Amino acid sequence: MAKRIHLTELGCIACEELSELGAGKEGWLVNNPNLLSALDSHSLALANRFLILIVNWGDPDAPRLKIRPDLSPIEAESITAIEWLVFDDVRVVVAGTSCGYLLVYSVAGDLIHKQMVHPSRILKIRVRGTKKDLMQETSSEEICIVLPGIIARFDGSNIQSMLQKWFQEKNSNFWDQKNRKGDVEDSGSLYQRLPYQIWNVNKNGVCVDATVTGVMPPPLLELQSSQRYYCAVTIGEDAVISAYRLSEDRGRSLVGAILSKVVPAAASTIASFSKLIWRSNDQSPKRKPEAKTQSFARASSLTCIKDYPRKGEKLTLSPSGTLAAITDSLGRILLLDTQALVVVRLWKGYRDASCVFMEMLAKKDKGKSVIHTEPVKSDYCLCLAIHAPRKGIIEVWQMRTGPRLLTIQCANGSKLLQPAYRFGSNSSSSPYIPLEVFLLNGDSGQVSMLNRSLS
């Protein structure tokens, strides 16, 4: 009987530039907590505290790109999160910093956008989208920014519009002329602020990871309105799992409405009165304006699971947002139904594990005739790939309660990666692209893909 091959080798990232990120040492890819990675369809972005390196693993002769963001040495600012944004013909790299800034770079290394989200460390950048179908009443594409106890949401259409405008201006040489007129460090004069929502979700303890799972119904006693409500799931040290209802409105309460009117008026009056008494000298140096922070919208706690000393560590969301895989400090993996907010499955004995959702071709009945040649969405089944580094294996389990389909041996120092979400891929006219999972061997630099077929 022929041996089944479950991995397909695609390319290699080995290059001299990786030495700046610690390559050459055993376990350099997984043992350094400051080393971040994000995968595109043919490129890998790696980042440490001060450097972003983009390597094309599909073409070893392609030039490597180094991006050194202009970070604040006074605040000891560093890169803390990285992700790709992939549109139809545009690919950009998004980085988050320890000071709460969001940086958007082109694949040529140009700084496209810089914006303060909140003056705190950005932990994670999540990109996802949902398509309107029988299960989902609305479709949305979003970028979720996770900070300690805070979650922010950018609408994908706003970012896409900003990128289209930037590339149009760049092609007409308008952007270069605009850059010469001002100081690059003055982000307020060059970069138009993108609208976003932000919520405080630390009622049950500071979170280490979080995600917006999708749109949810309003409260039973809430008046019907046009605003949306979102469901968010957080994990942390105090509460393993917490769930919140997020409102778009920032001033629904009476106290909030009064404060929103009284405080700005009082502050303006005091400032005007102060200027009359103490007139500043016109020759004094002008201070750089501080980035304004946005006020929080309303977040209502729905439920939480506290089970000391268990702590939530990592969170992975399924494409539809209906399932979440959560790893904890006791070596367990919890499968959470994000709509019912109940744990529907539990695995034990997986310390330091990481999980990624993927799709595999389901076995077809031999009696059925194949009408189409290209697989469609209904041909795939949702699975969960679990990388257990202490066991040196990758297991693939069928969701929700299905059996274990695969067990794959992997080398030490390997890491599971998943290509970034493609904006616009939810269109019904475009061919269906299943969830793929890649395996990066840090010691050899080999990039492999988990086969979608069991045969």
Strand residue runs (E) in 237-328: 241-247, 299-305, 312-317, 323-328
Strand residue runs (E) in 295-374: 299-305, 312-317, 323-328, 333-337, 342-347, 354-361
Confidence of residue 60 (pLDDT cuts 50, 70, 90): confident
Query: How many whole angstroms separate alpha carbon 75 and alpha carbon 100?
Result: 11
Entry field: residues in the chain? 455
Q: Where are the domains of the chain?
A: 9-122, 135-173+194-252+294-365+375-425
Q: What is the pLDDT of residues 29-46, one digit of tens each?
A: 999 999 999 999 889 999
Q: What is the pLDDT of residues 264-273, one digit of tens each?
A: 555 455 555 4
Structure tokens at 379: 């041909």
Q: Which of 85-99, 162-176, 295-309 has the lowest mean pLDDT?
A: 162-176
Q: Is residue 62 pLDDT above 60, yes or no?
A: yes
Residue 318 or 427, more confident: 318
Containing H/E element for 174? helix 174-181
Q: What is the pLDDT of residues 217-237, one digit of tens each?
A: 888 766 566 678 999 999 999
What DSSP assignment string belongs to 346-367? EE-S-TT-EEEEEEEEPPPPTT
Q: What pLDDT is recorded for position 303? A: 93
Q: What is the mean pLDDT of the chain?
A: 83
Query: How many whole angstroms separate alpha carbon 124 and alpha carbon 232?
Result: 14
Q: What pLDDT is recorded for position 190? A: 58
Q: What pLDDT is recorded for position 277? A: 47
Q: Is residue 175 pLDDT above 50, yes or no?
A: no
Q: How many other C-beta atoms are found inside a 10 Å radius of the C-beta of residue 173?
A: 9
Q: Which of 72-76, 80-84, 173-177, 418-422 has the lowest mean pLDDT?
A: 173-177
Task: List the strands of the sheet with 342-347, edge to edge.
Answer: 312-317, 323-328, 333-337, 342-347
Cis amide bond preceding 264, omega within 30: no
Whole-model pTM: value is: 0.83
Domain spanning 9-122: CATH 1.20.1250? no
Q: What is the pLDDT of residues 84-136, one digit of tens each?
A: 999 888 899 999 999 999 999 999 999 999 999 999 999 999 998 876 554 55
Identify the three-state secondary structure at position 51: coil
Query: How many whole angstroms separate alpha carbon 272 and alpha carbon 265?
Result: 11
Residue 273 or 431, more confident: 431
Q: What pLDDT is recorded for position 38? A: 95
Q: Which of 18-32, 367-381, 433-447 has the lowest mean pLDDT?
A: 367-381
Q: Is the dihedral of CA 168, 169, 172, 173 positive or negative?
A: negative
- How many Cα neighbours within 13 Å face the side chain of 357? 23
